[in-house]
A = this chain, B = another copy of it.
């Protein structure tokens, strides 16, 4: 009974992981159900036992990614450290997560036409929630007078953009490993907010 359900849930997750990986590589349209399935050594027909259709499958992957990133941020949020250190840590976590998971970042870019209105609303809301953690930290820093005063929304977007772009240029073959890159990026971006 519960065993069955657990297996079902586990398989579902496996499929989502497969989807995330392949879509990260080839984009939504470039990824076929066949691709996702064969990656797990099953036939594409099976996918429909777990998900209504491709859109739903991809949507779930997206949500999964977002929820995980949010969890990351919550963990950082809870730490009891100076605000500047907290923001720096958030940056490091964000970048390493991005590079380690190679997360279906592709999808995060203009998902507008891939999903239904309802699905989009959910995605946008989660994205916004994620961004809010950064706003919060920035505002805290401003209040504590360690960050210079600015429009936290814009600063947040600058920071997120600089970080997200890392997937475009980072190569594991370079001199720096993921952690070092994350540190370097965080160091540079702290300069955007910190008072001098």
Q: Assembly of this chain: how many copies?
A: 2
Binds B, one of A12-20, A37-45, A56-64, A163-171: A163-171
With a cutoff of 8 Å between Cβ atoms, the chain B residues found around residue A157 in the complex are 165-166, 168-169
Which residues from chain B contact A113 at a C-beta distance below 8 Å?
A: 25-27, 30
Chain A 175-190, CB within 8 Å of chain B: the 1/0 string? 0000001001100110
Q: Of the listed stretches A66-74, A78-86, A147-155, name the one at the interface; the rest are far from the partner chain.
A: A147-155
Out of B29, B163, B192, which one reaches A191, CB within 8 Å? B192
Most buried by B among A25, A106, A160, A162: A162
A134 at the interface (CB under 8 A from B): no
**Could you say which residues of chain B place their CB within 8 Å of the CB of A27?**
27-29, 110, 113
- Nearest B residue to A151 via CB reads B184
Judged by DSSP, the binding face of A is helix
Report yes or no: B161 in contact with A168, Cβ–Cβ below 8 A: yes
Chain B residue at smallest Cβ distance from A110: B106
Whether the Cβ atoms of A158 and B109 lie closer than 8 Å is no
Instruction: Spell out A's residues near B (CB within 8 Å).
Output: 25-30, 106, 109-110, 113, 150-151, 154-155, 157-166, 168-169, 181, 184-185, 188-189, 191-192, 196
A–B pairs, 15, beta carbons within 8 Å: A27-B27, A28-B29, A29-B29, A109-B109, A150-B188, A154-B184, A157-B165, A157-B168, A157-B169, A159-B162, A160-B165, A161-B163, A161-B164, A188-B192, A196-B196
